[in-house]
Amino acid sequence: MNDTRERVVVTEVGLRDGLQSIARIMSTDDKRRWIDAAYAAGVRHMEVASFVPAKLLPQMADAAAVVAHARSYDDLSVTALVPNLKGAQHALDAGVERIVAPISVSVAHSVANVRKTPAEMIDAFAAMRELIDRATSAGGRRVELIAGLSTVFGCTLQGAVPYADIAAIARAAVQAGADVIALGDTTGEATPRQVGKVIELVRDVAGDTLRSLHFHDTRGLGLANTLVALQHGIREFDASLAGLGGCPHAPGATGNVNTEDLVFMLDSMGYDTGIDITRLLASRAVLAQALPGEPLYGYLARAGLPKQFAHGQPAVRESAEPSESLRYSHSSAPQVPQ
Amino acid sequence: MNDTRERVVVTEVGLRDGLQSIARIMSTDDKRRWIDAAYAAGVRHMEVASFVPAKLLPQMADAAAVVAHARSYDDLSVTALVPNLKGAQHALDAGVERIVAPISVSVAHSVANVRKTPAEMIDAFAAMRELIDRATSAGGRRVELIAGLSTVFGCTLQGAVPYADIAAIARAAVQAGADVIALGDTTGEATPRQVGKVIELVRDVAGDTLRSLHFHDTRGLGLANTLVALQHGIREFDASLAGLGGCPHAPGATGNVNTEDLVFMLDSMGYDTGIDITRLLASRAVLAQALPGEPLYGYLARAGLPKQFAHGQPAVRESAEPSESLRYSHSSAPQVPQ
């Protein structure tokens, strides 16, 4: 292992974003098994549930029980998605370490998703901040509050999102007390140059509070977009095992960036994710067993690791001289112009 | 249209690399239809055949007829792959404008693929150079000779390829008279940081002769690798419609980078490919009809163009002020910290 490798945090969000985007319901026991397998592979950041009414999202009815299981691992950072104050209270009661509130920069999407305008959602976010601060003052431990800006790179309802709207919402979220700004390509419309521009834009108003990116791989650009974000200094990414997700009402939709493929890319580039790619690939078995027939995506799972790939090693061989076979061939082939 | 956009050449190689990698044989008429549809979509660079013995690659038995059809378009640049001198003669006779010779940097792959060591292949390449130059001297038009360096980013037989081997072969190819050096990720093992390093390495020995990159999308990194190559100044890429390819003997293998997805990424970044993405997507119908049951890949074909996407326009809306709806909401929400 090379201890000088730079750390990149990969947060497994399949238990939340993946499962809430498919029609089927995974049992609580299977969710526990998934958490166990991910933890065994080295995953230390998971978004495991959303605290929403069970009648709206029956997939998340067991949120408290799932959080409780995840919390049994001392060094696992446990995140939940929360759309309102009531959900935030439930998440705090359950013992999460991080709360993500979805704040859409598209009015149309915001109203459709959380029945609030972006500004109303900022109000709710400020109220969550107060709730968390009161809990901390009362002796609770510090809980991080994340503004999950959604539809940042485009909206299926609204189309393109003006830069000024993104900046306005990011600024309002920081002023309302966000510990972290996360940018979400909710509908999988982000493209590489745009990603760089939006990161610069949001960093101008949010500074280092901008920390995390959430890409979907709807148009095959998930990893290219991740690469641009890395080049712009982002070191935290959401991803979903087997690219679980899509949308029960849209057959063509695809889920989050695939965790295994993301970890492979990061590994190959010399970043330290702390995740064992072989064990991570093996953990797909939990999904295959728990959700028979559900499509599991992933390039690496299909193609396997390249022969040359050794965990933590660069995928190249550097040497001063060509291989002996090439040297021999060249010296025996004087007809080749030198 | 914005005339200041920088040009990127996308060469459709599905007729060669795609078709030779599947077990089935496409009829000559269907190949003609594919060429027509690609041309109608704006594709002006196609690698349409390889000149090899028909008993080795029956898919390419009609190479001369296919080249003849492609040549009927005056402004279409027609490329053929050629592994030896005899093939080069046939390609010249057929009237191609560009000849690609595959020169593997892996001895094991080279011997398996063309029954020659890399050095022997360099000899053959030098002989092709002489053949082309003689034809030009005799009044033939200028034909470009491309050294298609293969397995540059790894080899399924050999594993990692030493940098010194890549440099040695690239230098020998230039000295043997290559007009263009193209780098091929034959087995789909390239990773982003490696791509940058290898481009720098080869440019050190080949200068501007290094012009073209050929990626496969085996591990989902085709577009991320393309992005790195763009950042390193490469402006020519091979791709295959519907990602046609794979390998008849390896179910998990995947084909070249998908042309539609590549063009979408380039478009979104403001590059000018000259290709109409909507017509390109429509041209998949030729494959669906000619190769029923053959898997056709592609993110864009599944998800469609984003609502915000307008051909030739950036996928963002820049404005000085937030949208009115956001302004109104903010002014009516004084409880939000400002």
- What's the pLDDT tens digit per position in A59-105? 999 999 999 999 999 999 999 999 999 999 999 999 999 999 999 99
- A9-304, superfamily in CATH? Aldolase class I (3.20.20.70)
A305's CB contacts (< 8 A; 6+ apart) are A264, A277, A278
Q: Is B1 exposed, middle or buried (0-12, 13-18, 19+ CB in 10 A)?
A: exposed
Query: B268–A314: do the CB atoms touch at under 8 Å?
Result: no
C-beta neighbour count of A58 within 10 angstroms = 11
Per-residue pLDDT at A251 exceeds 60:
no
Residue B338: per-residue pLDDT = 32
DSSP A323: -
Assign B317 a pLDDT band (cuts: 50, 70, 90). Answer: low
**Choice among B247, B290, B301, B305 that is catalytic:** B247
CA dihedral B196, B202, B207, B212 (to 10 degrees): -70
* Average pLDDT estimate for B286-302: 94
Cβ of B220 and A258 within 8 Å? Answer: yes
User: How distant, in Å, are the alpha carbons of A225, B25, B43, B85, B281 from that of B272?
Assistant: 20, 33, 12, 36, 17
Terminal Cα distance for chain B, rounded: 41
- d(CA B238, CA B100) in angstroms, rounded, equals 12
Q: Residues 73 to 92 of A: which have CB under 8 A from any B CB?
A: none
Task: Determine the Cα–Cα distance for residues A184 and B112; give it in Å rounded to an integer.
Answer: 46
Q: Is the pLDDT of residue A329 over 50?
A: no
Given pLDDT bands bounded at 50, 70 and 90, which one contains residue A253? low
**pLDDT on residue B334:** 33
Tokens of A120: 């109303």
Q: Name, in order, each residue with C-beta under 8 angstroms of B231's C-beta and a sequence gap of 6 or more.
A: B196
| pLDDT reading at B295 higher than 50 | yes
Is residue A168 less than 8 Å (CB to CB) from chain B? yes
Contact B272, B249 (CB under 8 A): no
Task: Using alpha carbons, select from A286, A278, A199, A284 the residue that is nearest to residue A236.
Answer: A199
Residue A156: how many other CB atoms lie within 10 Å: 20
Residue B202 or A112, more confident: B202
Closest CA relative to residue B295, chosen from B240, B244, B221: B244
B281: chain A residues, CB-CB within 8 Å: none
Residue of B193, B239, B189, B194 lying closest to B213 (CA atoms): B239
Domain boundaries, chain A: 9-304
**Which of B175, B183, B307, B328 to mutate to probe the A interface, most A CBs <10 Å?**
B307
- Determine, for residues A323 and B122 on separate chains, whether the beta-carbon distance falls below 8 Å: no
- B175 contacts A336? CB cut-off 8 A: yes
Q: Are A35 and A69 in contact (CB under 8 A)?
A: yes
d(CA A130, CA B158): 60
Chain B CB contacts of A187 under 8 Å are: 306
The catalytically annotated residue of A167, A224, A247, A296 is A247
Angle at A323 between CA A318 and CA A327, to 5 degrees: 135
* Cα A334 from Cα A124, distance rounded (Å): 77
Q: What is the pLDDT of residue B44?
A: 98
What Rg, from alpha-carbon coordinates, does chain B have?
22
- CATH superfamily of domain region B9-309: Aldolase class I (3.20.20.70)
Which of B218, B221, B240 has the most A C-beta neighbours within 10 Å, making it the best mutation to test the interface with A? B221
Contact assignment for A219 to B320 by CB distance below 8 Å:
no
Q: Is A171 on the interface with B (CB under 8 A)?
A: no
B156, B165, B193 member nearest A307 (Cβ): B156
> Would you tell me how many other CB atoms lie within 10 Å of the CB of residue A27?
10
Any catalytic annotation for residue A247?
yes
Q: Least CA distance to A315: which residue of chain B?
A: B160
Provide the residue type at B120 as one letter: E
A297: chain B residues, CB-CB within 8 Å: none
Fill in the amino acid letter for B3.
D
Q: Cβ of A117 under 8 Å from any chain B Cβ?
A: yes
Are the Cβ atoms of B269 and A155 closer than 8 angstroms?
no
Find residues 132-161 of chain A whose CB sits inside 8 Å of chain B. 153-156, 159-161
Backbone angles phi, psi at B17, to 5 degrees: -70, -40
SS3 content of chain A, % helix, strand, coil (to 5): 45, 15, 40
The answer to whether residues B159 and A305 touch, using CB atoms and an 8 Å cutoff, is no
CB-nearest to B224 from A120, A161, A224 is: A224
Let me know: does B302 contact A216? Beta carbons within 8 Å: no
Instruction: Give the nearest partner residue to B193 out of A177, A192, A270, using CB atoms.
Output: A270
- Residue A338's pLDDT band (boundaries 50, 70, 90)? very low
Q: How far is B60 from chain A (nearest CA, A)?
A: 27
Angle at A312 between CA A306 and CA A317, to 5 degrees: 60
Touching A: B residues 270-289, CB under 8 Å: 270
DSSP state string for A184-202: E-TTS---HHHHHHHHHHH
How large a percentage of chain B has pLDDT more than 70? 89
Query: Using CB atoms, which residue from A162, A176, A192 is nearest to B265?
Result: A192
Instruction: Kindly provide the b/e burial profile for residues B63-80, where b requires at least 16 CB atoms within 10 angstroms of the residue's own CB.
Output: bbebbebbeebeebbbbb
Buried b (16+ CB within 10 A) or exposed e, B181-210: bbbbbbbbbbbbbbbbbbbebbbebbeebb
A306 touches chain B (CB under 8 A): yes
Residue B48: how many other CB atoms lie within 10 Å: 30
Tell me the CA distances in angstroms from A315 to A25, A244, A305, B195, one per residue in order.
Answer: 40, 28, 11, 10
Reported as a single tens digit per residue, the pLDDT across A99-155 is: 999 999 999 888 888 899 999 999 999 999 999 999 999 998 899 999 999 999 988
Distance (Å) from the alpha carbon of B36 to chain A's nearest alpha carbon: 26
Both ends of chain A: CA-CA distance in Å? 41
Over 80: is that where the pLDDT of A324 sits?
A: no
Q: Give CA separation, A144 vs A132, A192, A200, A230, A265, in Å.
A: 9, 29, 23, 23, 28
Cβ-defined contact of A323 to B187 (cutoff 8 Å): no
The H-assigned helical ranges of A185-314 are: 192-206, 222-231, 259-268, 277-282, 284-290, 299-303
Q: What is the DSSP string of B234-280?
A: --EEEEBGGG---BTTBTT---BPBHHHHHHHHHHTT-B----HHHH
Contact A299 B254 (CB under 8 A): yes
- Residue numbers in A near B323 (CB within 8 A): 107, 162, 164-165
Contacts of B308 in chain A (CB under 8 A): 154-155, 159-160, 189
Contact flag A325-B117 (C-beta cutoff 8 Å): yes
User: For chains A and B, what is the number of CB pairs under 8 angstroms?
Assistant: 259
pLDDT at position A248? 60
Question: What is the spatial distance between Cα B47 and Cα B80, in angstroms, rounded to a whole number?
Answer: 5
DSSP state letters, B73-138: STT-EEEEE-SSHHHHHHHHHHT-SEEEEEEESSHHHHHHHHSS-HHHHHHHHHHHHHHHHHHHHT
ipTM: 0.91
**CB within 8 Å: A307 and B227:** no
Instruction: Work out the burial of residue A176: count CB atoms within 10 Å of its CB; fewer than 13 is exposed, 13-18 middle, 19 or more buried.
Output: buried
